[in-house]
Structure 1
């Protein structure tokens, strides 16, 4: 089943400033997708479009066959129930004035999910390996890795079908990265991931499908194993040659 699709999407921030050019991709249920490219490749813009934070200049984005309509409040509520995000920096993505309970529970209230907040927050904390008493504490009391677990708990608490993770471990030290990768691998048994990164070795640990983005265009896409074994594009080969791998997974 196709969960999310971009169909011939073009986007630019101004006249003559095209950031994405005729981009198409599909996210299939249960098949994690990695979107890889260097800085300036258009990854952040693609993420904004996939999250419904902007509309394409041309082309279409569809969720389970329905075109995304930013003006339709009812549709967008359903859209945000289906898809949540985890961002790069756990230090800036959490409101320091709010308790962990309020941070995690916010999607339950804003999306009107009907879930019991206490039960849902407790389950989300348990799912990311944090104790129940973390709910009454504040972000400054936690390490970077723990804060990223809180951010992941917030993303899964409303029980979405898709999680978009943007450079989700790049701000963490190596040992903490490995633990977060293991957590995401476990969570991908129940949710489909879109992992945006500059690091092919990271997405290879988690994703079955791969898209390579260069200067706003997809230059290679397909099953992860096939691309790693036999990259067809020179840019893909360059990324593979320059990307360090996690020693724990070699």
Structure 2
């Protein structure tokens, strides 16, 4: 089943030059998708379109076959329940004034999901390998890796179908990155991920399919294994040459 799709999408900010040009891609349930490219390639803009935070200048963004309509509150409530995000910086993405319980419970409350909130928060903490007593503490009491786990718990607490992860480990040290990647791999058994990153090695560890974005255009897309083994575009070869050799399990 296709969860999210961009069909012939182009985007410009105001009257400026186009940031994205003729984008076609689909996010299929159960198949993690990586979007890679250097700074300025258009990754952030594509992420905003996938999350419904920007409207395409032309083309269509659809969710489960229905055009994404930010003005339709009922539709967007269902969309927000099904699609959640984890952002790059675990230090700025969590409200320092709130306890962890309220941070994780926020999607349940804002989406008016009828559930046992305490039990759901406890389960989300368990899913990201944090103790139940973390719910009573504040973000400043945790390390960067633990804060990112809290952000992931907030994203999964409503049991979404899709998580969009934006440079999810780039602010973390190498050891912590490995642990977070392992966590995401385990969670991908029950939900689909779109991973937006400049790091093709990270994306290869998590995603079965890969989209390579250069200057607002998709220059290559397909199965990750195939692209790593036989990159067709010079830009893809350039990205691969600038990263360490892929692990054997990819």
Same topology, TM > 0.5: yes
- Written as runs of structure 1 = structure 2, the 5 A alignment for 1:118-137 is 118-137=118-137
- C-alpha displacement of 1:16: 3.7
Cα distance between partner residues in 2 of 1:238 and 1:146: 33
- Written as runs of structure 1 = structure 2, the 5 A alignment for 1:60-209 is 60-209=60-209
Residue of structure 2 in register with 1:33 after alignment: 33
Q: Output the TM-score relative to the length of structure 2.
A: 0.98
The answer for unaligned runs of 5 or more in structure 2 is none
- C-alpha displacement of 1:249: 6.8
**Paired positions, count:** 250
Residue of structure 1 in register with 2:20 after alignment: 20
Cα distance between partner residues in 2 of 1:135 and 1:73: 31
Residue of structure 2 in register with 1:229 after alignment: 229
Residue of structure 2 in register with 1:210 after alignment: 210
Cα distance between partner residues in 2 of 1:39 and 1:129: 32
Cα distance between partner residues in 2 of 1:199 and 1:131: 30
What SS is found at the alignment partner of 1:104? helix
**Runs of 4+, deviation exceeding 4 Å:** 245-250
Equivalent pair of 1:34/1:203 in contact (CA under 8 Å): yes
- C-alpha displacement of 1:15: 1.6
* CA deviation map 1:41-91 (0-9, x unaligned): 000000001001010010111111011001000000000001000000000
- C-alpha displacement of 1:247: 7.3
* CA deviation map 1:200-245 (0-9, x unaligned): 1000000000000000000000000010010000000000000235
Cα distance between partner residues in 1 of 2:119 and 2:248: 35
Q: Output the TM-score relative to the length of structure 1.
A: 0.98
Cα distance between partner residues in 2 of 1:18 and 1:67: 22
Equivalent pair of 1:202/1:245 in contact (CA under 8 Å): no
The answer for unaligned runs of 5 or more in structure 1 is none
- C-alpha displacement of 1:192: 0.1
Distance 1:126 1:246, change over 3 A: farther
- C-alpha displacement of 1:115: 1.8
RMSD of Structure 2 on Structure 1 (CA):
1.3
Distance 1:247 1:8, change over 3 A: closer
